[in-house]
Each structure stands twice: as C-alpha cells, then as structure tokens.
A and B are shown apart, each in its own frame.
Chain A
Amino acid sequence: MRILTAFKQDLKFQFRHKFYHAYLIVSIIYIALLLSLPGDLRPFIAGIIIFSDPAMVGFFFISAIILLEKGDRILESLFITPLKLEEYIIAKLTSLGVLSLVTSLIIVLITIETRVNYLLLIIGVILTAATFTLFGLAITAWIKTVNQFLIVSTLFSMIAVLPVIGYLGLTDSWIFYLWPSQPALLMIGGALNGGISSYHLIYSLIAFGIWLYLGLNWSRSWFYKYIILKIGDK
C-alpha cells in the first residue's frame, strides 16, 4: 500500500509543521465567536464560517507544502520511486481532508444546538476540501513563490466566496450555480440549517463531480508540465 505510506507521511509532515496546532487555535476562535451569538443565529453563521475556512484550508496549505517540497528537492526523489503522480495527489487530498473534517466537526459539535444532518455535513466538507485542494495544487504548480501564491489566492478566494450573496438570501440568481463554491455552500449550509432539497442535492453532487474531474485533470497536467518536466530539464 504505497498510497497509505504516502498518506501517513503527509499527516506527519502536516503535524510537524504545526498545521494542527494552527487549526486548533483557529477552531477555538470560531467556537468563541459562535458561542457569543444567540443560539438561533449560530447555524446560519456557522455555515459561512465552515465553508470559507475549515473546508477550504487545503487550498492554502497545499501551496505551502508543494513549494517547500520543491525547495527541498523532495519532489525529485519522489518521482524516482514507484509512487504515481495520481497516488501522490490523492494522498495529499485525503491528508488535508482529514484536517478539514476534524476541525469542522469540532466546531459544529460544540456550538450548534439545533438538529444537524451530519452525513450531509461530512460529505459536503470532504467534497469541498478535495475540490479546492486540487485548485490550490494546480495554481501552485504554475507559481514560483509563496508571495505570488498569496496574491493569486487572495484574488481567487474573493471570487470564490461570491455565492455567499445567494446564501444570505439577497439573490437567487442562477449565475452562482456555475461556481465551484455553490455546491459547497448548499451542502454545508443545508446540513446546518434544516436540510437540502432533492434538486439541490442532485445538482450539488453532479457539480462536485464535474469540478473534481476538472480539478484532477488540471492539477495533474499542470503539475506534470511545470514541475516534473522542469525537474527533467535540470
């Protein structure tokens, strides 16, 4: 089980580089914030919080991981081993997904008193984490420094959070259904705020399927083009 070894390695790496420490603190902040709100306001705000941070954490952290591995020449030795690029990517997705899931669940379990559809929440967080980690992976492949990533990711996140306008009930424009963050909001928001309609559920699953497929191909080909071929050129 090469992939399992890679997964364990990634978890260790993330723990060693204080990812879990950081997210413990971040969770405490969100819990404090949510507990300060009246109980009936919490599920609504928690939906925005979980969608925008714990679920998307992989998007930011993946770039730091890849850039460090690039700098340390870890990637070069990696592609000499039998580990396939797909396996490498999947190990990264699952390890960061664990971080997303653990923090999201801790926040919800402590702060939400109303009924929560945990199955929907778990599936929603996992799919959101995987999709956005893949986007982060693709963008990082194409970028050279952490500072560049900070700029690009800021612009990307500004665009990505726009469907929140729909979540707030300000518009029911169909345009946001083209966003990869729309299914994330529908599923996570629905899990916390009394469920999801079957139409929305079917749309969300199909949309995630499409985005995951695109993200996987996009990150795989860019990774190959900008990182692996570059290593070969040296």
Chain B
Amino acid sequence: MLKGDFKNISRDFMLLFILVSPAIIAIAFSLIIPFADMILAAELGFQLSEHYIFIMAFIIMLVPMMYGMMIGFIILEERDENILSYLFVTPLSKAEYILYRTGLAMVMSTAFNIFILYFLDIVEVRLLQSLPVLLLSTLNAILLVLIILVFAENKVEGFAVTKGSGILFVAPLIGYLFETNFRYLAGILPPYWISESFISIYTGQGNYIFYLLAGLLVYGSWIYLLTRKFSRMIS
C-alpha cells in the first residue's frame, strides 16, 4: 500500500519536472546567451549575435526532444513491467497508443516554444510564419519516442540510444555551415528542415514552403517506418 503511494509521488514529481524543466531551459538560455555573446566578443572577437537566428532554430527543437526522451523512458519502464502486453489486448493500435502518450507533450511544447520566442527576444518574432515550423518541430517528440522504443531493448540501452540520437542535431549544423549541395545529404535527418525553414523566414533565401513540405515528408517517412517496426516488434 505504502509502496504504491511512493510510486505515485515519484510519478507526480516526474510530471512536475516535465512542467518545470522548460522554464529552467528558458531562464538558462536567457542568462547564457548575452553572457556568451559578451565573452566571445571580448576574448575572441567572435560575434555570436550574427548567429541568433540559427541558435533560435536550435532551441525550438530542444523541448520536444526532451519530452520525447522522457516519454520514451516511461514507456520502456512499462514494457519492463509488462504493462504493454495488457494494453495491447485492448483494441488500441500501437500507433494510437504512441500518439496518446505523446499528444499532450506536443501541445505543451508548442505552447512553450511560442513563449520562448517572445521570452528570449533574440530574433524579431514573426509568429504566423514560425507557427508551421514550431508544429513541425513537435514531431521531434514522437520521433524520439520511436527511436528509443525501436533501438533500445531496456533502460540501459535507452541511455545509450538517447545519447546517440544527438546525431540528429548535426544535420542543422551541416546545413548552416556548408554552402555546397552536398549538404542536402543532411536532409535525410529530419531536424535539418526545421532549421532551414526557420532561417528562411528571416533571410528570404531558399523556398520556405518547399523546406516545410520536405520536412513534413522526411519526418513522416521516419515516423511511418519506425512505427511499423515497433508494431512488428511487439506482436
């Protein structure tokens, strides 16, 4: 009896943490960015402010990814406790289950991302054009949940896979640093299109609509393939 209560307390604590951590991220960045700008300029003559748009494109991916990681771990835990096999006796498809688990986090991360655009105030906010990019970015949550479920057999591997999924962050970096057409290779990794479309809002370079659609296609393909793999694994 008491044990169950303890479990609930730690679950509630987890929920609280999920709610509080984006705020911590927001405050941390609001302190770090001007700070880093000052130091880099003074010590090394490096102008961070020239890269604010890219930094912002990066930040809007963080929270969905973080939520995805946490939900992924929670589902791994359920899988370890064999709750999943009971769940799938009910007429609930695996895809619906993942969507049900991740849906609220996606809504929350969109709201948070709108907030952080205004709160950090390092780029002029163009909300109407940013909104589709933010919505695309919430797909990072589902993507990460799926990556964890498909590639990790247990929580130890969950740690390793989460670490490894950092490779997703390289794609925007390659897109940002290299001018050659070779960079489209990075477009295989979905986050590439988030940063490209976000940056094109401001620079007017490239085709904003094309980037969004390409992003939707790449995210969609990844999510589709991983969901199919996950369904096969459980049955």
Contacts and interface: CB of A to CB of B under 8 A. Distances in A.
Given A26-B163, A36-B173, A18 B157 contact: yes
Contacts of A32: 170, 173-174
Interface string B1-39: 000000000100110010001000000000000010001
A18 B167 CA distance: 15
Interface residues of A, number: 35
Contacts of B35: 170
Interface residues of B, number: 33
Given A17-B156, A68-B156, A25 B73 contact: no
Interface stretch (A86-94, A105-113, A140-148, A225-233): A140-148
A178 B22 CA distance: 29
Contacts of B74: 147
B156 A64 contact: yes
A68 B164 CA distance: 19
A61 B161 CA distance: 12
A218 interface: no
Contact of B177 (A36, A65, A150): A36
Contacts of A22: 159-161, 163-164
Interface string A157-190: 0000000000011100000000000000000000
B84 interface: no
Interface in A20-61: 21-23, 25-26, 28-29, 32-33, 36, 38, 40-41, 44, 60-61
B230 interface: no
Given A19-B160, A67-B155, A145 B166 contact: no
B43 A146 contact: no
Nearest to B43: A169
B80 to A, nearest CB: 7
B155 A25 contact: no
Given A64-B155, A169-B39, A147 B10 contact: yes
B46 interface: yes
A119 interface: no
Contacts of B167: 25, 28-29
B164 A18 contact: yes
Contact of B160 (A17, A150, A169): A17
**Do most interface residues of chain A lie in helix, strand or loop, or is the interface mixed?**
helix
A197 B35 CA distance: 27
Contacts of B164: 18, 21-22, 25-26
Nearest to A13: B156
A71 interface: yes
Contact of A146 (B17, B77, B177): B77
Contacts of B14: 147, 151
A19 B152 CA distance: 11
Nearest to A144: B10
A33 B161 CA distance: 20
Interface in B70-106: 70, 73-74, 77, 80
B64 to A, nearest CB: 17
B184 interface: no
Interface string A1-24: 000000000000000011101110
B129 interface: no
B159 A61 contact: yes
A170 B32 CA distance: 12
A150 B44 contact: no
A170 B38 CA distance: 10
A23 B156 CA distance: 14
A68 B173 contact: no
